Amino acid sequence: MLEERSADPDLWSNPQEAQAILQRLTRLKEEVERVATLDKQLATIADLVELAATEGDDSLQADIAAELDHASAGVEALEIEVLLSGPYDDRDAFLSIKAGMGGTDAQDWAAMLLRMYTRWGERRGFQVSLVDESEGEEAGIKSATIELRGPYAYGSAKTEAGVHRLIRLSPFNAGNTRQTSFAMVEVLPEVDDAPEVVIRPEDIRVDVFRASGHGGQGVNTTDSAVRITYRPGTPEQIVVTCQNERSQLQNRETAMRVLRGRLLERELQRKREERARLRGEYRQADFGSQMRTYYLHPYTLVKDHRTDYETSDVQAVLDGDIDAFVEAYLRWNVGRDA
């Protein structure tokens, strides 16, 4: 199906859709190639085992062990990909961070999370770009959105959605007292073809304004930033801003992608909540139901309250080493979204 669409002469009439189709096709071909490579590795191991048994050659044991280690790593990587089997898990993603309760400390905490996810994305080989950022009054950020582009970006990043709590001695008060801060992380799939999302022109209002903050020379000299309001003045109102690009058109396109992702994620979340209600497991996701706590005082620990996975190496986690948390959630969540 994807190969047929990629061969369509009219494919590039919509460059954005064409790029998404080709990216998905490339990823699927890479998966098939990895399976074929693993199959060859297992055949090689079988041949070595048979040869060692036939000739009684113990010197082959080291080769067999090395091949087994290599194959085991391949099997583990494929196992993680099998866990990333949701309908949009292979898509790119938008990750948004919003400071919650905790004042300046919470805004500083949001900035720490922005750094953590940026470094994590780079470690994973994702292309990471800042879409929008609102700076705090004294320190940190009020909110920020980054785009993660790469294989299974959404499937991996969605494990981080929820409330993150930080407990530490505050660097922002004279007494250096203990402070608890909260930040909300939202993860959206980047899609252009989701049947669940229909946006009518009359449902949106587009405003342009002068960008501020990061963006390079000239960012503040033109009305390039874009704010899109979906169903303004209604209980369903959603506001999306983008000001990172130099072009107003680019900012509008990015903001529309974020809006589509937010509407799709809202529908996916509704379905997850309905399944949770049927199982008697539903909990309201608010700032009182943190999914992970980062303790910097009186001891150092990061604990995920869903999976119970924890580590005392807080600095490594804040530097972007969160793959163990991601994998623990994927294994814990098997069957829960079904």
* Cα–Cα distance for residue pair 143/149, rounded to 1 Å: 20
Neighbours of 288 (CB within 10 A): 11
* Class in CATH terms, 201-274: alpha beta
Domains 93-189+279-332 and 201-274 share a fold: no
> Among 3.40.50.12280, 3.30.1360.170, 1.20.1250.20, 3.30.70.1660, what is the CATH number of 93-189+279-332?
3.30.70.1660
Are 38 and 74 spatial neighbours (Cβ–Cβ below 8 Å)? yes
End-to-end, the C-alpha distance of the chain in Å comes to 25
Are 193 and 166 spatial neighbours (Cβ–Cβ below 8 Å)? no
pLDDT for residue 51: 79
In the chain, what percentage of residues exceed pLDDT 70?
88
pTM: 0.80
pLDDT tens for 211-228 read 775 544 444 557 889 999
Sign of CA dihedral 318, 321, 324, 326: positive
pLDDT tens for 170-222 read 999 878 899 999 999 999 999 877 888 989 999 999 999 987 755 444 445 57
Residue spans of the domains in the chain: they are: 2-83, 93-189+279-332, 201-274
Confidence of residue 126 (pLDDT cuts 50, 70, 90): very high
pLDDT tens for 274-321 read 887 777 765 555 556 789 999 999 999 999 999 999 999 999 999 999
Q: Which amino acid is at 282?
A: Y
pLDDT for residue 215: 46
